[in-house]
Amino acid sequence: MAVLIQHTSVLVLLALVSAAFRSTAPQGNTTQSSPPTQIVLLGTGTPGWDPDSSGPATAIVVNGTPYLIDFGPGVVRRAGAAYRKGVKALLPTNLHVVFLTHRHVDHTVGYSDLIFSPAQVGIGARTLPLEVYGPKGLKDMTEHILKGHMLNPDDPRYKVNAHEIAPGIVYKDDNVTVKAFPVAHGDVEAFGFRFETPDRTIVISGDTTPTQSVIDNCQSCDVLIHEAYSMKTYNAVSADAQANRRRLHTSTMQLAELAGKAKPGLLILYHRSNLGGVLAEVTNPEEAFLEEIRRGYAGKVVVGHDLDIY
């Protein structure tokens, strides 16, 4: 009987050692953690009222730290949705470092939301100030928002440090180096951004017509996130709307040529002018985007949607 108990004890000990080894040994791709850098599309829409596409907002998460570009409508709730989807870095109270491409309203009307919603007492309020980097006028915008809501700007929950930037490196920490470069978007000061992380180089265009600076700052970058409008929807709008798109934005045909020169590893289409359902007879705009791009561009391209992760 004593021999049996001793033998059983040895087997149990061996099983425990084996389990411990399995828990610490590499298990292949199935148990690998998230990559060091993730791109999370929080909002891919335009000023239209498409309920499936919130206003422009993109998060780049590096080693668990989020960096936000633009704050269109719905930005905080979209960050919360990404958090629930498993991107724990995008708990809204974690949003501290933010970049603004330009001051058009569809990119900025979520600013109040970004300042105030994560700062509410009782929901794990944000403890660090917002550090926001953007074009001239950002400081005035910030000041007016705080005054308009009649809140104390000295309250640490609502502290915002607004940094008005010029082209060049505008931010650097252990995770990322961020370079701003000018793009062409009508009469407003507008920037694209280049993010260099330990494992990826990511360029985001902001709103722009085809611009050499995007090509110069990509040059075989890992990912290019670029706005676009399709010729299918372009042909369905008024002459005035067509002129506005040509003056401010980039068509799929133009983007195909630009991407052929920039040579990104992946091209992501975002901020897509898709009419927001206004003209129901224009069907399958997403298919049109891809079809039109692929006529002139052979690289890897995807259409971005809210809460997509790359």
pLDDT tens, position by position, 222-258? 999 999 999 988 888 889 989 999 999 999 999 999 9
Is 237 within a domain?
A: yes
214 is in which domain, residue-wise? Answer: 33-303
Is 85 within a domain?
A: yes
Is 284 within a domain?
A: yes
Query: What global pTM score does this model have?
Result: 0.86
Is 201 within a domain?
A: yes
Rounded to whole angstroms, what are the CA distances from 293 to 101, 160, 205, 207, 274? 24, 40, 17, 18, 15
124-150 residue pLDDT tens: 678 889 999 999 999 999 999 998 987
209 versus 152: the higher-pLDDT residue is 209
Q: How confident is the model at residue 29 (pLDDT cuts 50, 70, 90)?
A: very low
Is 222 within a domain?
A: yes
Cβ proximity of 82 and 70 under 8 Å? no
Rounded to whole angstroms, what are the CA distances from 216 to 37, 219, 264? 22, 6, 11
Number of independent structural domains in the chain = 1
Output the domain CATH number for residue 232: 3.60.15.10
DSSP letters along 120-157, please? -TTS----SPEEEEESTTHHHHHHHHHHHTT--TTSGG
272-294 residue pLDDT tens: 876 544 444 455 678 889 999 99
Q: pLDDT at position 288, please?
A: 87
Is 187 within a domain?
A: yes
Q: pLDDT at position 150, please?
A: 79
Is 16 within a domain?
A: no
Is 165 within a domain?
A: yes
